[in-house]
Structure 1
Amino acid sequence: MASEITYAEVKFKNESNSSHSYSESPSAPRKKRIHHLSKPVSPSLPFTSLMVLLLLLAITFLVAFIIYFQKYSQLLEEKKSIKDITHNKLNCRKNVSSMEDKVWSCCPMDWKAFGSHCYFISTNRASWNESEANCSQMGAHLVVIHSQKQEDFITGILDKAAAYFIGLSDPGHRQWQWIDQMPYNESATFWHKGEPNNDNEKCVIINHPKNTGWGWNDIHCSDEQKSVCQMKKVYL
């Protein structure tokens, strides 16, 4: 009896140890797997720095592209202005004070230079709208006058026996407007005395009546007169 009890106790201990070791053995790998899966959750500093660097490069590229596009557009405009007058020869003068890197200011041949503009006297008689269309075909518009010096220069190259359309008209209610959308300044106008005098006369000429001198007069837009065209100088 005593030996059987001892054997039973020994057997019981062996089963207990075996059961304990079996229950613990699977837990070790499970802890390792849990620890292994949770490791990538923390953010990577090199990856964040790389994203910031790429973002800065993208912004720099965008700014450089915008600057390049603006320069390219300006170059296209300059080429277009030259292309518009390739059928004419250019008369150029060297500037005393150069405009940036451009040292030559040019007007088409047979145009008159004054200030930053060129002027062409059209001897063809046409309505105001037709006169403006003719100027537009040459890359210009009907003349816009804003100063006494400009008025004196223009009248100095005109024929006193003729009348010339300028780029001033009335779209309605005597609200005079310049063709280039520049503000109409009543303090810098050169109307003949008593002009404008007719609400139905919505276009303006510059003329020289006898014993009066040069000045502006409103007339019907359908009347046919000569005209003065104006364009900006071409800088090379």
Structure 2
Amino acid sequence: MSADTVAAPRLSLNVRYNRNVQENSGEEEESQVEILEDEEHHADLRPQRARPHTQNNPAANNRRCFKATAVALGGFYLLMLAGLFIRFTLLQTRYDQLSNNNSQLQDEVKKLKDRTEVFKSCPHGWTGFGHSWYFKSEEKKNWYDSRADCQQRGADLVVINNKEEQEFVSELSKDGESWIGLWYEWTQGGWKWEWVDGSLLTEKFWAAGLPHYNGYYAACCIQQGKWTQGYYSDNKNWICEKMII
């Protein structure tokens, strides 16, 4: 009796189980299955009860997703704005360039119209070329008197600045040499060839063996359109030039 009393706590846990063993062996298997299923059910419940503690909060996940989406959209809009700004800047630059080109073109057209109007009013005996009028005399004078005649006409002896103008002046003086506005003049730096407008000689079209120095003055032109020289007292035709634009 005492032994049964000591084992009672353990037997009380399995009373139904032991009774089932004594009553029916078939029920023993059923009870065992029920106990195992119950244990498996509790085993399945433990992870389910623990899951809320281990899974992330859905609301927090949603907030994180929203923030990530907002950042991505913000970056995309910034890229779009940057692209639009660059596009606008390029278009504005191109527009400014076109405006400047158009303004320059209008200025050139205006100058051409003005020059055409000036050429239309070219005085009798004068010929227009480039930005100037040119006058070729029919009489002959020395260099100083020739220059004085040009100055009375509001001009001066011709100054030749480039090859095109040289060819034009050569054609004007094809019938003989004519004084041009080039002389061997004393300057602060010494004796130099200088044009009547004060500019130094840069383009040179001298004939072979020229120039000579000390008191010589230039004339145009001999064969091949080259410059020659003479003393100021020599009588020659002359060519005047008057700037018009």
Could you state the TM-score of these two structures normalised by the residue count of structure 2?
Answer: 0.50
CA deviations 1:25-83 (Å, max 9, x no partner) are xxxxxxxxxxxxxxxxxxxxxxxxxxxxxxxxxxxxxxxxxxxxxxxxxxxxxxxxxxx
Cα separation, partners in 2 of 1:115 and 1:100, compared to 1, 3 Å: closer
Report if the CA contact (8 A) 2:184-2:214 is conserved.
no
Partners of 1:213 and 1:100 in 2: CA distance: 32
Deviations 1:56-111 (A, max 9, x none): xxxxxxxxxxxxxxxxxxxxxxxxxxxxxxxxxxxxxxx98213994722321221
The answer for the alignment partner of 2:109 in structure 1 is 97
- Give unmatched runs, 5+ long, in structure 1: 1-94
Equivalent position SS for 2:172? coil
Which of 212, 227, 241 is equivalent to 1:216?
A: 227
SS at match of 1:119: strand
Q: CA deviation at 1:134?
A: 0.3
| Alignment-derived partner of residue 198 in structure 2 | 181
Alpha-carbon distance in 2 for matches of 1:108, 1:128:
24
Determine which structure has greater relative contact order: mean sequence separation of CA pairs < 8 Å that are 6+ residues apart, divided by chain length.
1
Percent identity between the two aligned chains: 26
Letter in 1 for 2:109: S
* Residue 170 of structure 1 pairs with residue 187 of structure 2: no
Structure-1 separation of matches of 2:159 and 2:114:
25
* Structure 1 residue 182 displacement after superposition: 2.2
Q: Which amino acid aligns with 2:110?
A: S
Label 1:227 to 1:101 Cα distance change in 2 as closer, same or farther (>3 A).
closer
Gaps of 5+ in 2: 1-106
Equivalent of residue 207 in structure 1, options 221, 224, 228: 221
Residues 204, 216 of structure 1: 8 Å contact kept:
yes
Q: Report the counterpart of residue 126 of structure 1 in structure 2.
A: 141
- Number of residue pairs matched? 133
For the Cα contact (< 8 Å) 2:216–2:230, is it kept in 1? yes
Aligned counterparts of 1:204 and 1:178: Cα–Cα separation in 2: 10
Q: Which has the higher strand share?
A: 1
| 1:143 aligned onto 2:158 | yes
**Judging changes above 3 Å, is the alpha-carbon distance between structure 1 residues 139 and 176 closer, same or farther for their aligned structure 2 residues?**
same
The separation in 1 between residues aligned to 2:184 and 2:127, in whole angstroms, is 28
Tell me, yes or no, if the aligned pair for 1:171 and 1:202 is still in contact at 8 Å.
Answer: no
Q: State the distance in 2 between where 1:154 and 1:108 align.
A: 18
Q: Structure 2: how far apart are the matches of 1:167 and 1:131?
A: 10
Q: Which structure's CA Rg is the greater one?
A: 2
In structure 2, distance between residues paired with 1:232 and 1:118: 6
Give the CA deviation at 1:183: 2.9
Aligned residue identity for 1:97: V
Q: Give the Cα separation in 2 of the matches to 1:100 and 1:206.
A: 29
Task: Identify the structure with the greater helix proportion.
Answer: 2
